[in-house]
Amino acid sequence: MSVMNGDGAPHRAEEQNGGGDPEHSDEGNEQEVIVIQDTGFTVKIQAPGTEPFDLQVSPQEMVQEIHQVLMDREDTCHRTCFSLQLEGNVLDNFAELKSIEGLQEGSLLKVVEEPYTVREARIHVRHIRDLLKSLDPSDSYNGVDCNSLSFLSVFTEGDLGENGKRKKKGSELEQIDCTPPEHILPGSKDRPLVPLQPQNKDWKPLQCLKILTMSGWNPPPGNRKMHGDLMYLYMVTVEERHVSITASTRGFYLNQSTTYTFNPKPANPSFLSHSLVELLSQISPAFKKNFSTIQKKRVQRHPFERIATPFQVYSWTAPQVDHAMDCVRAEDAYTSRLGYEEHIPGQTRDWNEELQTTRELPRKNLPERLLRERAIFKVHSDFAAAATRGSMAVIDGNVMAINPGEETRMQMFIWNNIFFSLGFDVRDHYLELGGDSAAHAAPTNDLNGVRAYGAVDVDGLYTLGTVVVDYRGYRITAQSIIPGILEREQEQSVIYGSIDFGKTVVSHPKYLELLEKTSRPLKVQRHPVLDDKSEAVELCSSVECKGIIGNDGRHYILDLLRTFPPDLNFLPVEGEELPEESRRQGFPRQHRHRLACLRQELIEAFVEHRYLLFMKMAALQLMQQKANKENKATAALTENGGPQAATLENKGEGGDATATTNGSAPPSPMATENGACESPESSEADLKSREVVQNACKAVGSISNTSFDIRFNPDIFSPGVRFPEGSSEDIQKQKQLLKDAAAFLVSCQIPSLVKDCLDHNALPMDGATLTEALHQRGINVRYLGTVLDFISKTPARTQLDHIYRIGIYELITRSAKHFFKTYLQGVELSGLSAAVSHFLNCFLSSFTDTVAHLPADELVSKRKNRRRRNRVPGGGGGDNTAWASLTPTELWRSIVSEASSYYHFTLHCETVDQAVEKYGLQKTTLLREISIKAGIQILIKDYNFDSRHKPAFTEEDILNIFPVVKHVNPKASDAFHFFQSGQAKVQQGFLKEGCELINEALNLFNNVYGAMHVELCACLRLLARLNYIMGDYSEALSNQQKAVLMSERVLGIEHPNTIQEYMHLALYCFANGQLSTALKLLYRARYLMLQVCGEDHPEMALLDSNIGLVLHGVMEFDLSLRFLENALAINSKYHGARSLKVALSHHLVARVYESKAEFRSALQHEKEGYTIYKNQVGEAHEKTRESSEYLKYLTQQAVALQRTMNEIYKNGSSASIMPLKFTAPTMASVLEQLNIINGIIFIPLSQKDLENLKAEVQRRQQLQEAMKSEEQQEEESPLELEHKLTAEQERQSAPTGAEVLEQQASA
């Protein structure tokens, strides 16, 4: 039996959107799953020149997937142009294996070389180049082709999992060097950047070729084409041999051309080979040797280090990489990257068609849904990549505008069937809403709308592919194009909604019908508005939402920026007053624009909160009715009906200004009775309950009188929207709802976030995780200042130090980013690196008179005046060196004023050093946060921020500017349900079943997302934990290794999630006896954590306890004490000196002192621990007893030692000294403590107990099935005990919480 305090945190958000209760769908799913896992079989593959080998395949696979495997295998990787034949028949590449006749267990597939075409020859050259570069990380640094970094193998040196068992467990103690580098030790203030990317031995590239490029003789002339020449290559081998190669239909051979003379005749010998590798191996011994070494290394790397990620991850640091010649990259730059090939018909992808067709795929059963979700996900990630590339090309000035005559800010672009527009207010479209600020906010709001409608997934309603890219200070929206929209004027194509913010409005029955289906899940109320002729028009969305029927007959909706209702805290409206809670906090506040919306998560939370209120009120009234009935005082009832209900309403408020409906008391019951009398059969009791529901509905602001149903009208408070006279009461109700929702955010959600941080249920480590924590609770980042103010007024303020500090980081870097955005817009491309380094100097360097280096020094143009008219969008002439005059004082003044005007928070600092001093910040963290937010990539070296004599950054330190991309993340719904059911099973104590379900979820996630995805990461982590608890350490290690690699690749090498994965992996390494690896991993985690948030963070206590324990285990007592005492200090600060966590910390420290035979200190710490246990859980508790036993033992040891010392003093050196017992801890005892602090508790139950418990649980479940009644569950029972044992509490609070100790005792 075991307790899981799993890391459920990242899934909360999805649970809210996941919808649907997985339980009822389980039965169906189980059968469907069996269909999917058709048993695999083995085929033999024979390739030319190799022995036949066996390959395991599954009937679902396509023939193409076997091609991929062969192109990856070490012995066949150099082949790309071949077919697979079964008994002489060529297999179709896109056929599924199960559809091929005669293919069965043991069939022999032959690899047959096929003639080349130009396309195949290009693919071949590209593939060979990829193989040559397979160990080279430059693509990861440059952020191309979905490559990203991973450093795990540097720390494990490949000794994890299977091959990790080489080391003998016993002999490992001798050769460990446990001393960490100085900067990792507790209390060190040094934060070097260089170790962030440790040197990987494999990356020193072995040179196979000096140069491989396209020859200048391309393309072949007509007469050579007729001899089968496809293209010419030029190479220089490592031995300095210059060769010219012809790619022909039959393969590759040497020709007699040189750089200056063209002679395409084959050389003698020509070495004709079907593969370029075979040819080069014959003419260059160095190529042969190094190529095979690279392939061996490539195959040894973990697949997760090589697979592409679904979305590009950018690294904010990179070393200086030598720029080598690369034919493929050069060719890409000339063709696709500049958008030439995109204009060739047949070369472009019709993104809109692909995005919509995948949505239309059938989804009746599991295999269909998987296929559909996989297709949707694939197209989305391809679209996001293309849109990002296009946006960069647009800003870099490589795409021609479709309206080139207009001013640059107003230009629009089409590239690769994607439409691009810039985030500026063109034609004063957003004039009333806040101009450019509104135009900047609209695209992200629109994207949230697209995400929401996409998640509801209504058949027949289509949204556009949307990606929002921030690059070089510009915001670009990339959208797929509705067929036919470009040929028509917008006025004629919009048949639903409004193109002028509600002055003219049209509606359409088909749209109403489709949008009606989204009304309940998105909580949007159907409502009438007045058009320009003052006639009422029905809408089921905000007025800006436009409906357009494309030439393909599909119903599209676009401009979803007001899908969610406005946030009244940031929208002052004349004559409207907000509830008291909001006013107390100083709301409403003026915002930059009028598009501030509530988040979907807030709407969900608010409705849920109202539902609880509704149930409470109804229950209260019904109970009262019962009581009144018994008193037979019916007459009194009618009189009391009114006021009674009114008092109830106020009772239900529970301190949130919510329940009071607009001041009116409910209608007296008499009126309702008259209204309802027409239905003769309605008895009195029926009426009463109906009336109760009505009262409750009215109180919580439900739009229906007979059932609970809260929806919002998104058009309330939109300027220019008018409502018909008849609906004024409804509008009042809606206004009140919006006010209540705004108040709910301030009075409920913010306090609950802070409470979660206090209880350590939310543990943000950096800006991104803090933002995520806010968003999960529906709090927009514009409330950051309010949250910080709230924290500073909290009584337990010091226990929130870490949250406060992260909030300040976030506030400063976001304010700086706002400034940086406009700062960059005025910079010419040639001055970019100088401008960025100057900005960073002003932001972070202590050097006060930073002078910018103008880029004029490299090359000065003679003809200054002939500037190109059509430069970068928004550049708009003027002085392009204005950025150079920025000073640190001016920048910090802007940051402080931005913090005050945007976040309503007062920063007390005028320079970076004052900020660091006052708020306890560190400059590396500021650098990391601003680089990630602004897309800056800097050179990895140790910067001296504090020098007063020279600036920290030079322009050579700025390596790149990356786009920051926002897009929709399509979900794998079935997989997610399996994952949830698995978690539920684990919580009920059915570990094996849970494990199976989670394995199943892993397969389905794999099916939809491919091998790399954040959600797979969570799956693997939970699996590893289950493996560990069930005692399968090596399996735990292998799964956790995958989780770490995936987290590094998908989230980033220093993402908080990655740090946690490193910690779990270290634990499993220790359990597997790989002590030195465990230590290296823990040191790495500590280093990363210092970079990300510094030492003062509750999570650091857990990390240091882990390190201290492992060091204790390898007898490094002094070092161990440094870490454990730091953990003790941090725990005392964040959990309060009386917490059980602190007691445990004292105990760990005492154990190390005991090992050092310093019994006095040991006693002192153990006494502290004992006192805490005694006060918290009482004398009789097992923990208190253990502690007192240990105290006795220590006292005996101390007395014995004292005796011996006295003996020595008395008798001098002749004393007979009793041998003392010094205890080096056993590995088992260290592991036991590690498990406790990491929240994994094994509860010793015999097999028989387990069986009995299981049987009991099953018996109860059957009983419940039979009864199907809810009262059944309320009895206390073994089931409850198990629930308690395995409730997947947050990893933090669980292990040492009193409740777990009690459970242990009771178990």
Q: Where are the alpha helices (DSSP H) in 1212-1240?
A: 1227-1237
Rounded-to-integer distance, Cα 981 and Cα 1022, Å: 13
For residues 212 and 241, the answer to whether their CB atoms sit within 8 Å is no
Rounded-to-integer distance, Cα 353 and Cα 201, Å: 46
Rounded-to-integer distance, Cα 519 and Cα 714, Å: 11
For residues 937 and 187, the answer to whether their CB atoms sit within 8 Å is no
Output DSSP code: residue 165: G
Residue 480, φ and ψ in degrees, nearest 5: -75, 160
Q: How confident is the model at residue 549 (pLDDT cuts 50, 70, 90)?
A: very high
Which has the closest alpha carbon to 145: 156, 154, 134?
A: 134
β-strands 108-113, 41-46 pairing: parallel
SS3 67: helix
| 245 bridge partner residues | 233, 254
pLDDT (tens digit, 9 = 90+) per residue, 1154-1184?
A: 998 899 999 999 999 999 999 999 988 989 9
pLDDT for residue 160? 65
The sign one gets for the Cα dihedral 845, 847, 849, 850 is negative
The angle, 0 to 180 degrees and rounded to 10, between the axes of the packed helices 366-395 and 351-360 is: 160
Q: Mean of the pLDDT values across residues 683-712?
A: 85
All residues at 6 or more sequence positions from 949 whose CB lies less than 8 Å from its CB, including other chains: 847
pLDDT for residue 1266? 58
Cα angle 409, 411, 412 (rounded to 5 degrees) comes to 135
pLDDT for residue 1219? 54
For residues 824 and 886, the answer to whether their CB atoms sit within 8 Å is no
pLDDT for residue 490? 62
pLDDT for residue 720? 83
Q: How confident is the model at residue 1279 (pLDDT cuts 50, 70, 90)?
A: very low
H helix count then E strand count, the chain: 45, 25
% residues pLDDT > 70 (the chain): 81
pLDDT (tens digit, 9 = 90+) per residue, 987-1005?
A: 888 888 999 999 999 999 9
pLDDT > 50? residue 310: yes
Rounded-to-integer distance, Cα 1006 and Cα 1000, Å: 10
All residues at 6 or more sequence positions from 783 whose CB lies less than 8 Å from its CB, including other chains: 569, 745, 750, 774
For residues 812 and 907, the answer to whether their CB atoms sit within 8 Å is yes
Rounded-to-integer distance, Cα 552 and Cα 549, Å: 8
The sign one gets for the Cα dihedral 872, 876, 882, 886 is negative
All residues at 6 or more sequence positions from 1177 whose CB lies less than 8 Å from its CB, including other chains: 1140, 1183, 1184, 1298, 1301, 1302
pLDDT for residue 1046? 96
Rounded-to-integer distance, Cα 137 and Cα 148, Å: 8
Q: Mean of the pLDDT values across residues 81-89?
A: 92
Length of the chain, in residues: 1307
Output DSSP code: residue 650: H
Mean pLDDT, the chain, rounded, equals: 83
Rounded-to-integer distance, Cα 332 and Cα 46, Å: 35
β-strands 82-86, 108-113 pairing: antiparallel
Rounded-to-integer distance, Cα 1161 and Cα 1154, Å: 8
Residue 461, φ and ψ in degrees, nearest 5: -110, 125
pLDDT for residue 165? 42
Residue 546 tokens, joined:
């436009």
Q: Mean of the pLDDT values across residues 732-747?
A: 94
pLDDT > 90? residue 1145: yes
Which has the closest alpha carbon to 967: 367, 348, 477?
A: 477
Q: Where are the alpha helices (DSSP H) in 147-284?
A: 152-156, 222-225, 276-283
Q: Where are the alpha helices (DSSP H) in 565-683?
A: 580-584, 600-630, 634-652, 669-676
For residues 526 and 512, the answer to whether their CB atoms sit within 8 Å is yes
Output 559 or 171, whichever has higher pLDDT.
Answer: 559
pLDDT (tens digit, 9 = 90+) per residue, 783-801?
A: 999 999 999 999 989 999 9
Count CA atoms within 13 Å of residue 1057 on its CB side.
25
Q: How confident is the model at residue 207 (pLDDT cuts 50, 70, 90)?
A: confident
Q: How confident is the model at residue 917 (pLDDT cuts 50, 70, 90)?
A: very high
pLDDT for residue 1240? 80
All residues at 6 or more sequence positions from 1007 whose CB lies less than 8 Å from its CB, including other chains: 36, 370, 374, 972, 975
Q: Which residue has the tokens 């990792």?
A: 184
Q: How far is CA 948 from CA 553, 939, 945, in A?
A: 67, 21, 9
Cα angle 60, 62, 68 (rounded to 5 degrees) comes to 125
Q: Mean of the pLDDT values across residues 537-564?
A: 93
What strand order describes the sheet that includes 317-318?
Answer: 317-318, 936-939, 958-961
Please spell the DSSP secondary structure of 495-541, one letter per residue: EEB-SSTTSS-B--HHHHHHHHHHHHHHTB--EEEE-TTS-EEEESS
Torsion of CA 219, 223, 224, 225, to 10 degrees: 70
pLDDT > 50? residue 13: no
Work out the end-to-end distance of the chain between its first and last CA atoms, rounded to an integer number of angstroms: 10
SS3 470: strand
All residues at 6 or more sequence positions from 271 whose CB lies less than 8 Å from its CB, including other chains: 253, 254, 279, 282, 283
56, exposed or middle or buried, with CB in 10 Å at 0-12, 13-18, 19+? Answer: exposed
Rounded-to-integer distance, Cα 229 and Cα 231, Å: 6
Q: What is the pTM of this model?
A: 0.85
pLDDT > 90? residue 674: no
pLDDT for residue 145? 84
pLDDT > 90? residue 1297: no
Q: Which residue has the tokens 């039996």?
A: 1
Residue 206 tokens, joined:
């072995």
Query: For 158-167, 618-627, 1230-1239, 1273-1282, which range has the lowest pLDDT when averaged over its residues?
Result: 1273-1282
β-strands 964-967, 958-961 pairing: unpaired
pLDDT > 70? residue 274: yes
pLDDT (tens digit, 9 = 90+) per residue, 1103-1124?
A: 999 999 999 988 889 999 999 9
Rounded-to-integer distance, Cα 782 and Cα 803, Å: 16
The sign one gets for the Cα dihedral 998, 999, 1000, 1006 is positive
Rounded-to-integer distance, Cα 1018 and Cα 1050, Å: 12
Please spell the DSSP secondary structure of 303-358, one letter per residue: HHHHSPPSS----SEE--------HHHHHHHHTGGGTSGGGSTTTS--HHHHHHHH
Count CA atoms within 13 Å of residue 994 on its CB side.
25
Q: Mean of the pLDDT values across residues 636-642?
A: 42
* Amino acid in position 829: L
